[in-house]
A = this chain, B = another copy of it.
Amino acid sequence: MEYTIQKLARIAGISTRTLRYYEEIGIIKPARIKSSGYRIYGQAEVNCLQQVLFYKELGFKLEVIKEILMSPSFNEAKALKEHHEKLLDKRKQLDLLISNVEKTIALKEGRMTMTDQEKFEGFKKKLIEENERKYGKEIREKYSEDTINKSNEKLLNMTQEEYEEAIRLGNEVTSTLAEAFQTGDPGSDLAQKAADLHRQWLTHFWGRYSKEAHAGLAQMYVDDERFRVYYDEKQPGTAEFLRDAILIYAGVKK
């Protein structure tokens, strides 16, 4: 049986380039070459190629395969064992690498969360300090020490996820409120939704909820200039609107 280069490549499952390359480095030569220059391979070449591919699958370098196949005196058993040793060394190296990468991942993860934790903790503390500095005295006067302390404590004990949820809720309150403000009606569904969101937001900081406290806070939003500015910033009257919505929500007003 005779094969053209492509036929041999197909039965061997390799490319014609590979066959030409093998010829180039002297591993397999065609049985003969036609006058047209076409390579013609015979059965012997098929067998040889089989051997080559076998050793290649075992990860031998082509130069070594060439040596093995070219000189029958070549100690194949020795070559196999040496190759085996080399592969074991390679695996050792690889294991070391993997272990190092794993260590790095653990370390980075540790440091990341550490860093983030630190940042987060620092952020929360700063928030509380700022609250204290800004509103401390007055709030402690208006609300019981207990409420404030619990609020701060809760803040400090919040996980990052909880914190982010609280922030998200806060933003939702703001946006819903802005939208509801357009209706002009603190009793409207949207305004009541804003009030509800505000309650949810509040419970993230206050341990428990009471209509009275909620209503009281709402009133404070109007009474205290600093809070009022925060809400009125974009739309004057928003603080008052929120207070009314909350009062309705809390059932102290209709």
Contacts and interface: CB of A to CB of B under 8 A. Distances in A.
Interface of A: 57-59, 76-77, 80-81, 83-84, 87-88, 90-91, 94-95, 97-98, 100-102, 104-105, 108-109, 112
B80 A101 contact: yes
Contacts of A105: 77, 80-81, 84
How many copies of this chain are found per oligomer? Answer: 2
A52 B90 CA distance: 23
A242 to B, nearest CB: 37
Given A87-B97, A94-B90, A101-B84, A109 B77 contact: yes
Contact of A77 (B90, B95, B112): B112
A98 B91 contact: yes
A108 B77 contact: yes
18 contacts: A57-B100, A58-B97, A58-B100, A58-B104, A59-B97, A59-B101, A76-B108, A77-B105, A80-B104, A80-B108, A84-B98, A84-B101, A84-B102, A87-B97, A88-B98, A90-B94, A91-B95, A91-B98
Contacts of A76: 108
B87 A101 contact: yes
Nearest to A81: B105
Interface centre among A58, A77, A101 (most CB of B within 10 A): A101
Contacts of A81: 105
Contacts of A58: 97, 100-101, 104
Contacts of A84: 98, 101-102, 105
A79 to B, nearest CB: 10
A98 B105 CA distance: 28
A96 to B, nearest CB: 10
Contacts of A90: 94
A1 to B, nearest CB: 27
A154 to B, nearest CB: 30
Given A109-B77, A112-B77, A98 B87 contact: yes
A203 B90 CA distance: 50
A22 to B, nearest CB: 21
Contacts of A88: 98
